[in-house]
Structure 1
Amino acid sequence: MSTLLGKRILLGISAGIAAYKSAHLARLLKKAGAEVRVVMTEGAQAFITPLTLQALTGEAVRTSLLDPEAEAGMGHIELARWAELILVAPGTADLMARLAHGQADDLLTTLCLASQAERVMAPAMNQAMWRHPATQRNARQLELDGWRLLGPDAGDQACGDVGPGRMLEPESLIVELSLFPAATTTSRADASGLKVVITAGPTREPIDPVRYLSNHSSGKMGYALAEAAARLGAEVTLISGPVNLPTPVGVTRIDVTSALDMFEAANHQAENSDVFIGCAAVADYRVAKAAEHKIKKTSDRDDLTLTLVKNPDIIAEIAARARSTGYPLVVGFAAETRDVETYANDKLTRKGLDMIVANDVSQDGLGFGSDHNAALLLWRDTSGHPTQRRELPTQTKSEMAVAILDTILERLAERQDTTPP
């Protein structure tokens, strides 16, 4: 984590149960070589004491805007100027609302408005609060105001609910923060204004009203791509199968269930897009005729025969149309368990794709359901050279999304350079 070495980070902690994670986060930031100072809201002190953070950072913790001793030297302005990065973790729904409306009614919000530092927030709240239209509206406004929102994650919550709203784990936040310096490269600036359509997650093919055929796709890779593309300025539409993931901020999400649903949505959205990324694990087959009522188990037979028919090949059809119109650039995914490069190269050629991302899902800890992945990128350049390749080593799916988008932007730039005037 050398990118954090020597970086001056102001860690803001607001009043949520996830504040207990902030102590570990402060420790990891220090371990990565950052200089860390902590500001806590009044409510945050009910969850974790300033003394704990002081012991971990070696710096006095600030809690009050109206501290006569500190304000004698305009302490809040000094802190605002000192910080290179303001990291608010956790960021509650209340704090998000106040910042989205430009309020400065305590030390933390005042610093956020008074500083020109990079600003990052890790939201944390009950799943219903996160999904509420007001919170989503505030999240979009914060993004427009220059905030980077990391998370939230989905899963079990302290209140007993299950869903999006958990603060990202400190280790994940450290990884995300380490990506930020690279996010200012010239190539990524070119994503501004691009229309990107991404499919993600599994499809479900009904057998009867209570059963379906599906696969192990979690949707994490597709969602990471959507989040990264939106951060880089693209207009992103995410066509999602059934997953338990929050919609990335700034992304338009279309929920679908079956392969036919996804086929219809993808064809419509791809028409005016610049890039189409088929990251979803679409079922190759569906039941020819789903039963109207639940199929009952009978005692006179031990087997059940289902007649399956092929689903439309979504990405192949979009690629075929792209060859005649010149757009979008079409990127596919290949989840394989053996002979990864051979099968991916065949799929690249057979379906007429511009690029393919292949990974070995048989490896432990990678692929479906995991937060990490490794991949091989294959493409043919515009000069007709044989397949080009780029290997991406094991990394988080957020990191991989950035690397994949970099390569996509390179391919777009190459295409534009060779397009006749």
Structure 2
Amino acid sequence: MPNLVLGVSGSVAAYRAADLARDLMRAGFSVRVCLTDAAERFVTPDLFEALTGQPCLTDVFDEPERGRMAHIDWARQADVLLIAPATASTLNNLAAGIADDMLTTLALAYEGPVIVAPAMNPSMFLDPTTQKSLRELRERAVLVIEPAEGDVACGESGQGKLAANSRIVEFTVESHRRLGRLKGKTILLTTGPTHEAIDSVRFVGNRSSGKMGAAIAQAAQMMGANLRIVSGPSEAPLPRLAQIVRVDSAREMLEAGLGMADGVDAILGVAAVADFRPKSPFEGKIRREGKPMIIEFEPNPDVLAALAEKAGPDARAIGFAAEPTPDTEAAEEKIRRKGLYALAINDISRRDIGFGADENELTLLFQDGRKLHCPKAPKLLCAFWLLENVFD
């Protein structure tokens, strides 16, 4: 039975942690709970000890076993650390490495997978400091369960509600189940858009946010893979432990990727690479003169096909096709032409799963004719699903 430490911080949503603890136990976890001082204003240690049959930590000097350091023992014994709800204070302290209570002290000593489920006022959630902390945590492979939209305790409305318990449990179970599945595998990932220069100021690009590629990178790292990443211009956080090269154009992406393709087990071409580029970029800035401007374009190299050829037949090449009207026949032709193992298709005409969205829905076509469908889900869960099926 996997051991889970449930950290509860001082949000009004702390009352939901009692049901969450029981739901996690029903899902097969042995649950121990750690409360912050502020959480104790809403719930009590006695409640969680009665529900879980385990001691509850509240103070950095707590010693359920005399002579033992509880924050070290619990950190070493845990398979998963889940903090739900996670307040702005707790998130900012985690990102800064501040250990000023039992929960953050335990988290600092813990070396396994960490999941946080934020809950707070929408303005606090969107505050630049909180968002910076969340980016920092994601770069350290902390998994974030996005808060829901709706009315919060103060009466305001927006993104800040603690995610549903069912979603938190599903996310935790699925994340734990996939731990270490890709240990020993090396993956080359391309992600983000490309920018093709028109002049020294302007470029031709696309609406790719890089979020799907970042989700795949985070999932792959959590599953134990060695990661090599070539990223176009994107603010989506990437795991720090990966080997990362940042580029602008398709030709730069190809050059960087060719230098990283040897010995990989798979290539995931998630990047939205521009098909064409201006043939003769202007040196300096083009001035507006009131006359029409004609720009001649030429084809860009096929980055994924070239990387797949360099990596060799033993490497599985997986492409992505962002289509406004998904076409299975065109996808099958692309698989044959590029020599792909599989192709993931997503419908960018839908605003709820298109560019920049936090959720996605994928159809995965294989070279042998198999077809799988991932229903709408957070991009991180889609990433786990994709990797699991690609390496099945």
1:149 aligns with 2:142: yes
1:170, distance to aligned residue in structure 2 (A) = 3.8
1:345, distance to aligned residue in structure 2 (A) = 1.2
Say if 1:275 and 1:54 are closer, same or farther in 2 by CA, change over 3 A: same
Aligned residue for 1:3? Answer: none
1:365 aligns with 2:352: yes
SS of equivalent residue, structure 1 residue 367: coil
Aligned residue for 1:416? Answer: none
For the residues of structure 2 that align with 1:72 and 1:321, how far apart are their CA atoms? 59
Say if 1:71 and 1:351 are closer, same or farther in 2 by CA, change over 3 A: closer
For the residues of structure 2 that align with 1:169 and 1:245, how far apart are their CA atoms? 23
For the residues of structure 2 that align with 1:63 and 1:216, how far apart are their CA atoms? 46
For the residues of structure 1 that align with 2:338 and 2:355, how far apart are their CA atoms? 23
Aligned residue for 1:326? Answer: 313
For the residues of structure 1 that align with 2:268 and 2:187, how far apart are their CA atoms? 8
List aligned pairs for 1:20-39, cutoff 5 A. Answer: 20=11, 23-24=12-13, 27=16, 30=19, 33-34=23-24, 39=34
Q: Is the 8 A contact 1:91 1:123 kept in 2?
A: no
Q: Is the 8 A contact 1:227 1:249 kept in 2?
A: no
For the residues of structure 1 that align with 2:14 and 2:334, how far apart are their CA atoms? 43
Equivalent of residue 388 in structure 2, options 399, 406, 414: 406
List aligned pairs for 1:383-398, cutoff 5 A. Answer: 387-398=369-380
Aligned residue for 1:352? Answer: 339
List aligned pairs for 1:199-278, cutoff 5 A. Answer: 199-278=190-269
1:405, distance to aligned residue in structure 2 (A) = 0.5
For the residues of structure 2 that align with 1:169 and 1:224, how far apart are their CA atoms? 22
For the residues of structure 1 that align with 2:68 and 2:278, how far apart are their CA atoms? 70
Q: Is the 8 A contact 1:93 1:123 kept in 2?
A: no
Aligned residue for 2:124? Answer: none
**1:305 partner letter:** I
1:120 aligns with 2:110: no
**1:226 partner letter:** A
1:51 aligns with 2:41: yes
1:358, distance to aligned residue in structure 2 (A) = 0.8
Aligned residue for 2:174? Answer: 182
1:120, distance to aligned residue in structure 2 (A) = 2.2
1:107 aligns with 2:102: yes
Say if 1:172 and 1:308 are closer, same or farther in 2 by CA, change over 3 A: farther
For the residues of structure 2 that align with 1:280 and 1:173, how far apart are their CA atoms? 33
**1:373 partner letter:** N
**1:292 partner letter:** E
**1:52 partner letter:** F
1:64, distance to aligned residue in structure 2 (A) = 2.8
Moved more, 86-95 or 193-202: 86-95
SS of equivalent residue, structure 2 residue 260: helix
For the residues of structure 2 that align with 1:95 and 1:255, how far apart are their CA atoms? 24
For the residues of structure 2 that align with 1:252 and 1:169, how far apart are their CA atoms? 35
Consecutive unaligned residues of structure 1, counting only runs of 5 or more, are 1-6, 14-18, 100-104, 141-147, 154-166, 382-386, 411-421
Aligned residue for 1:290? Answer: 281
1:369, distance to aligned residue in structure 2 (A) = 0.6
SS of equivalent residue, structure 1 residue 215: coil
Equivalent of residue 171 in structure 1, options 163, 168, 172: 163
1:279 aligns with 2:274: no
Residues 23-61 of structure 1 deviation map (CA, whole Å, 9 limit, x = unaligned): 4366377368358986455xxx5xx56323559x96599
1:96, distance to aligned residue in structure 2 (A) = 6.6
**1:182 partner letter:** E
Equivalent of residue 64 in structure 1, options 59, 63, 73: 59
Say if 1:245 and 1:12 are closer, same or farther in 2 by CA, change over 3 A: same
Equivalent of residue 304 in structure 1, options 272, 293, 301: 293
1:87 aligns with 2:79: no
Aligned residue for 1:415? Answer: none
Say if 1:333 and 1:130 are closer, same or farther in 2 by CA, change over 3 A: closer
1:11 aligns with 2:11: no
For the residues of structure 2 that align with 1:51 and 1:129, how far apart are their CA atoms? 25
Residues 254-281 of structure 1 deviation map (CA, whole Å, 9 limit, x = unaligned): 1111111101111111122111000000
| TM, length-normalised to structure 1 | 0.69
Q: Is the 8 A contact 1:337 1:362 kept in 2?
A: yes
Q: Is the 8 A contact 2:18 2:47 kept in 1?
A: no
